[in-house]
Amino acid sequence: MNPQTHVRYEAALKVTGQARYEGEVMPPGMLHAALVESPVACGEVLSVDAARAETVPGFATIVTRADSESLRPSGATALIREKAIHFHGQPVALVAASTGSQAREAARAVHVATRVQPAVTHLDQAAGAAFAPAAVGRFPAASRRGDPSRALSEAELIVRNRYTTDVNNHHPMEPHAVVCWWEDHRAVVHTSTQAVFATRASIAHAFDMPAGDIRVLSRFLGGGFGCKGQLWWPWMFWAMLASRKAGRPVRLELSRAQMFTLVGRRQATTQDLSLGFVDGRLTAIEHDVVAQTSTHADFSDSTAVYTRLLYACPNVSTAHKLVRTNEPHPVPMRAPGTAPGTFALESAMDEAAGQLGIDPLELRMRNFAAHDQESGRPWSSNRLLECYRVGAERFGWARRHERAKSKVGRWTVGFGMATTLYPAIRQACKARVRLSLDGSLVVQCGTQDMGSGTYTALGQIAADALGIPMAKVTVELGDTWLPDGPFSGGSQVTASIFPAVEAATSKLRAMLANLAVGDPGAPLGGRRPQEIEFRDEMVRGRSSNVAERLVDLLARGPADGLAAEGECAATDHQALAATGMGYGAIFVEIGVDAELGEIRVRRVCGTFAAGRILNPLLARSQFIGGLIGGIGMALHEQTVTDRATGCILGKSFTDYLIPVHADMPEFDIAMIEEDDPHLPGGVKGIGMLGTAGIQAGIANALHDAIGRRVRHLPIRIEDCLASAY
C-alpha cells in the first residue's frame, strides 16, 4: 500500500456541525446535573444538607457518598465512596434538575459541612516524604547499568543541573460529558472517553453487572490528550446513579473551570540530571526525578525512562520518586514522560556541547546509540541520524555559525535543536469489514477517534486493500457493540488497528477471489485465487487484463453481502526481539526581545522517523499539532495553585495561556520513511513525537540568542528579561 493523502473522513460532518458529540445526545425527559465542590483541600465531609437545594424550582434528585455505597469498592469508586477530601474542588455531591441553570443553582444551595485538616499544597512541603512508585507506566521506576557515580568521578566534564517543569492541564476543546439512562437493568452511556471498552469494564465492576448489559458510546471526541480516562469515571458513575434514582436520563457536562481539577493533569517535576563526558562521549548519566501525585493514588510519568536508551552510555542510573500533595491527581498528558524528560536531557546535552566546544548536533550524532543499551536488543528500526542530517539541511543549521547575534527588527534570533522519541506500542484489536451487494464497504472497530484521524486511517486501510474508493466506505467507531478496539492513547491506535483490518480484509479478499474463480462462466473463472487483485472496484487477473466488476461478483455471492473479522494481539514487550521507537529531530528558531522579555518562536523544522506513514496529510497535521502543544508547554501553559488554600487560580483560557494563531511559527515537517521488519505493517505511532523535544529546542535557542540558560518551564517574560537597559 502506498501512502495516500486522503482528506479527513469526517471533515464535512465536523465543519457542518453534523458530527454528533455524545454530550449533544438529547433523550426526552433528560435531567441536567451539576456538581457540588469541596471548598477545602483536605479534610472530611461531615454532612451534606440539601434542604435548600430541594426548594429550587426543577430540582429532581441529589446523589452523595451515601448513594455510592451501592457501588463496589475500587480505585475508581474510592473518591465517591469515602469521606476524605483530597483536593480543593473535589465533588461531594451531584444535583440533577430540569435545566442546567436550575441544577447549578441547586448545587450552590447545597450546604456541605466539613472537618478541615492542614493541606499539603506544594511539592517542596512534603519533599522529605518522597517515595518510589511501584512502576512508571510499564517500566521499572529505577534502573542502573555500569557504575555511574564512579564514571562521574572520572569524567573530564560533568554537567550537573536541576530542571523543573510545572503543572499543565489537558484542555481538549470538548469538555467531558455524559448522557446516560437505564433500560430496565441495562445501561446506555454516551460519554466522551478515550476508551469505550475500559469504561464499560469500569461500569460493570462498579455496578456489579454484566458488561453485556452496558453500552458505551463515544463516536466523536473533541480531543482527549490523556484526560478522557479513569479520572472521569467517578463523576460519570454519579450521573448514572442519579439517572437510576430519578428514573430519567441524566446529562452531566464539566465546565471549563472543572477541567482544571477533575480529570487529571501533567504532574510537576523536579529533575536532577548529571552527565559525564570523556573526549566528547557520554560516560555517565544520573537522572533522578521527583514528581507530584495526589493523596489518593500513585501516578508517575516515565520521565527518566528514555534517558536509559537515547544515547550510547555505559553507566546510567535513573530513579523516579513521588510526593503526595492535596492537589488533583496526575495522568498521562501529551507526550507523557518524554516531554518533561527530554526537556532535561536535551537541555543538558546543549549545555554540555557549549562547555565542550562541540556543535550540539555533532555531540548528539557522536553519542548516537546503535542499539538499545538498556535491554541489549537491536532497534526494530532507527533512522534518527538521518533525521538529524535532513533536519539540519532543511533548517539551515550550518548558518548557526555564521550568525553573530543576528537581529530582525527588535528580535534577537537564536537557533536551538533537540531530539524527540516515543516507543512504538500496540494493543489488542478486532475489526470487522462488510461488503454489500452495491459495492459499499462498512468498516467497524470499537476504538474511538480523538480527532487524530482514526476514522480516516481505518477506512483508508480497508479501502486500499479492497480497491474501493473512500467515498464508498462507511467507518463505524466508538461503540461497545462493535468489535473490541484499543483505547486511544500512547500513539498506538493506528499501529493496533492496521494488522486487525489487514487480517479482516485479507479474509474478505480470499472470499472474493474464490468467488471470482469459482464460476467457470465468469470472466476470471478457473484461474488461481492467488492471481486475483483488487483495483478500481474491479477484480482482475494479475497477469492479464481480464476483469470483473466487484458488484457483478458480489451479485453471485450471499444476498447480504460478504463480511469478515480480523484481530491482532497486543505487543508482548518481553518477547520482542527488537526495541521499537519513533524518533525525531526538532530545529527551532526563536526571536527574543530581551529588553521587554518577550520570546516568540519564529520557525520550526521537525524531521521524524516513525515507521511507515499511512497518510502524509494527516501525519503532517499530527506533527504540527504536537509541536504546537510543545510550544504551549515551553512558553505558556502553567496551572497555578494558591498555596494558602490549595485552590487552582485562573481556571479559564484567559489565565491558562495556550499559543494563539499569532504565535504560530513557520512549520517545516519532513518524514523519513522507515522499513521496519519487526513491527506489524511497519507502523509506529506519531502523535506524541511532535510534542516532546521542542521544549528543550526552544530553551537551547534562547541560550543561543542571549546566553541565558532557563532550566524550568514555562519560560516567560521574567526569564528572558534583561534586568535593565
Binding flag, residue 721, another protein (CB under 8 A): yes
Distance CA 61, CA 50 (A): 10
From candidates 659, 681, 682, 697, binder to another protein by CB under 8 A: 659
Q: With CB under 8 A, what is the number of residues at the site for another protein?
A: 41
Give the x-and-dash track for 161-200 against another protein (CB under 8 A): ----------------------------------------
Q: How many CB atoms lie within 10 A of CB 272?
A: 15
Distance CA 651, CA 663 (A): 22
Distance CA 409, CA 414 (A): 14
Give the x-and-dash track for 662-691 against another protein (CB under 8 A): xx----------------------------
From candidates 27, 314, 597, 625, binder to another protein by CB under 8 A: 597
Q: Are 579 and 380 in contact (CB under 8 A)?
A: yes
Q: How many CB atoms lie within 10 A of CB 697?
A: 35
Cβ-based neighbours of 666, under 8 Å, separated by 6 or more: 602, 603, 604
Minimum gap (Å) between residue 721 Cβ and another protein: 6
Smaller CB separation from another protein, 175 or 264:
175
Binding flag, residue 654, another protein (CB under 8 A): yes
Q: Are 235 and 262 in contact (CB under 8 A)?
A: yes
Examine residue 714 and say whether the peptide bond preceding it is cis (omega within 30 degrees of 0): yes
Smaller CB separation from another protein, 401 or 661:
661
From candidates 74, 481, 643, 707, binder to another protein by CB under 8 A: 643
Minimum gap (Å) between residue 323 Cβ and another protein: 20
Contact region with another protein (CB under 8 A), list: 149-157, 236-244, 651-659, 671-679? 651-659
- Please report, as residue ranges, which positions from 92 to 121 form the binding site for another protein (by CB under 8 A): 100-101, 104-105, 108
Binding flag, residue 655, another protein (CB under 8 A): yes
- Please report, as residue ranges, which positions from 8 to 67 form the binding site for another protein (by CB under 8 A): 39
Following DSSP, what letter does each residue of 421-466 receive, concatenated? EEE-----EEEEEEE-TTS-EEEE-S----SSSHHHHHHHHHHHHH
Distance CA 631, CA 699 (A): 11
Contact region with another protein (CB under 8 A), list: 182-190, 329-337, 648-656, 683-691? 648-656
Following DSSP, what letter does each residue of 522-558 receive, concatenated? STTTTS-GGGEEEETTEEEETTSS-EEEHHHHHHTS-
What string of H, E and C letters represents the secondary structure of 259-321? HHCCCCCECCEEEEEEEEEECCEEEEEEEEEEEEECCCCCCCCCCCHHHHCCECCCCEEEEEE
Exposure letters 145-183 (e unless 16+ CB within 10 A, then b)? bbebeebbeebeebbeeebbbbbbbbbbebbbbbbbbbe
Binding flag, residue 647, another protein (CB under 8 A): yes
From candidates 44, 598, 668, 673, binder to another protein by CB under 8 A: 598
From candidates 481, 652, 666, 677, binder to another protein by CB under 8 A: 652
Contact region with another protein (CB under 8 A), list: 144-152, 384-392, 579-587, 589-597? 589-597
From candidates 16, 543, 545, 723, binder to another protein by CB under 8 A: 723
Minimum gap (Å) between residue 330 Cβ and another protein: 20
Minimum gap (Å) between residue 97 Cβ and another protein: 12
Distance CA 722, CA 725 (A): 7
Binding flag, residue 642, another protein (CB under 8 A): yes
Binding flag, residue 650, another protein (CB under 8 A): yes
Contact region with another protein (CB under 8 A), list: 301-309, 353-361, 456-464, 636-644? 636-644
Contact region with another protein (CB under 8 A), list: 11-19, 466-474, 488-496, 645-653? 645-653
Distance CA 510, CA 148 (A): 57
Binding flag, residue 697, another protein (CB under 8 A): no
Distance CA 127, CA 533 (A): 64
Q: From residue 156, give the alpha-carbon distance in Å to each of 144, 215, 267, 314.
A: 21, 62, 34, 15
Smaller CB separation from another protein, 404 or 644:
644
Binding flag, residue 649, another protein (CB under 8 A): yes
Q: Specify which residues 606 forms β-bridges with.
A: 586, 669
Smaller CB separation from another protein, 208 or 655:
655
Q: From residue 429, give the alpha-carbon distance in Å to each of 105, 158, 606, 685.
A: 45, 47, 31, 15
Contacts to another protein by CB under 8 A:
39, 100-101, 104-105, 108, 255, 257, 595-598, 600, 635-636, 640, 642-645, 647, 649-652, 654-655, 657, 659-663, 716-718, 721-725
